Amino acid sequence: MHPGGADIILRHAGKDVDEIFSSIHSPTVLKMLRPDQCVGMINVKELPSRQGDIEEQARIKRAREAIPPVAAMVNLYDFEEIAKKVLSNTAWAYYSSAAEDEASHANNLNSFKRYWFRPRVMRAVADIDMKTSILGVDTALPIFVSPAALAGLGHPEGEVNITRGAGKAGIIQGISSNASRTIEDIAAARIDGQALFFQLYINKDRKESERIIRQIDDLGFKGIMLTVDAPVLGKRERDIRNRPPVSDDETPGGKRGVSANLDSFFEINLQWADVAWLKGITSLPIVIKGIQTVEDVELAIEHGADAVYLSCHGGRQLDYAPAAMDVLWELRQRRPECFAKAEIYIDGGVRRGSDVVKALALGAKAVGLGRPFLYANGTYGERGVKRAIEILEEEIATTMRLVGARSLSELVPDMVQRDDVAFVALRDRQ
């Protein structure tokens, strides 16, 4: 039985699925099959034509021939605009999709506009230092690659491109449990000393989780990002609509799209006591990812989290969940002592170096980005990843100089204020 269910088999029966398969699975996955599981050879030339695929491939070819040089990318939004044109419909629908009305996704993007700087002037800012560490691992910039599934939908090399780009820039990459490439492939792409963190969804079969943890430990991963905001997957309608049903009998309950079965192994009854279980089987530091309230920050610290990762999963899970930037602000106002008890990270809606600086000033140790790296990889591959990091580095440096901070330690809460009136005026003008 295919792990995605019978519908996937029936939908593609008698058709050439090489391109679809390769965009989701590592080239090494077929080596896992036993010889007796190969039931025969297929003559691809005899398969029926997939006219829709041919037309889409022609569209993508034309778009890629017209793509500007990567040096023309001025900001992260530019990658997204190019991605709309050059990605397959499947890739675009999956990467851009968010839950239901996509309110949380939009709010993530808008949340940083609610926070304005209080810059300090007359400071010598010719030399600035953007280096920091994440759980003791040095990083050249206070940003990291958030774990995001299926980078192979955008580029055949998938996560490997992102690993190479992140390694050359000296930043940390979080690896998704649902990566297109195997963790062995990704680990092999590292440069000397490069750090990777693994995103863990605890499996209903705990022995499988234990096996994966032993594997990443053996491969030298530096930490675990335990993801806790996805007992089930949110309803991602763009992704669902991209895979319309072929009959009334298909997909009871409406589970369709690339993401339809990503949660098939998730432990739906995950509880705080499971943190102790996890800490009992690994010595790797534990980051609890998907915290969305101040109360749960306190519980995460109480249960032994080494770091707390504020995130609403890019707006892909619960629609109308709060933006991480707003939770960070609330944490600073209500429980500032938490910043001394655990490292705090955020992601969600980060598109500018100034967004990063605002979060750092409020106490975040580092800031993650997910979709921008998927778009950068999907448009230009490794070159795109490197250019995206360069853009962020340039913008962080400029913003630090303009707010009067020569090092990350000089970014303090007094440099940021919340201004909802200014945000409303800005929103109405747009």
Q: Which active-site residues does the annotation give?
A: 201, 229, 313
DSSP-assigned letter for residue 236: B
Which are the contacts of 101, defined by CB distance < 8 A and separation ≥ 6? 319
CB 242 within 8 A of CB 90: yes
- Cα–Cα distance, 30 to 18 (Å, whole number): 12
CA nearest neighbour of 377 among 158, 62, 169, 181: 158
User: What DSSP letter does each residue of 127-178 carry, written as one string?
Assistant: S-B--EEETTEEESSSEEE---S-GGGT-TTTHHHHHHHHHHHT-EEEEPTT
CB 134 within 8 A of CB 144: yes
- 121: its two tokens: 């002037």
Element containing residue 115 per DSSP (H, E) = strand 115-117
User: What letter represents residue 253's amino acid?
Assistant: G
CA nearest neighbour of 173 among 344, 342, 357, 369: 369
- 105: its two tokens: 């996704």
- 334: its two tokens: 């209500």
By the 10 Å C-beta count (0-12 exposed, 13-18 middle, 19+ buried), 311 is classed as: buried
Task: Give the three-state DSSP class for 386.
Answer: helix
User: What letter represents residue 401's amino acid?
Assistant: R
Q: What is the dihedral of CA 238, 239, 243, 249, to 10 degrees?
A: -100
Residue with tokens 């945000």: 423
By the 10 Å C-beta count (0-12 exposed, 13-18 middle, 19+ buried), 414 is classed as: exposed
- 70: its two tokens: 């990567």
Element containing residue 403 per DSSP (H, E) = helix 382-403
Angle at the Cα of 335 from the Cα atoms of 363 and 340, rounded to 5 degrees? 50
- Cα–Cα distance, 375 to 377 (Å, whole number): 5
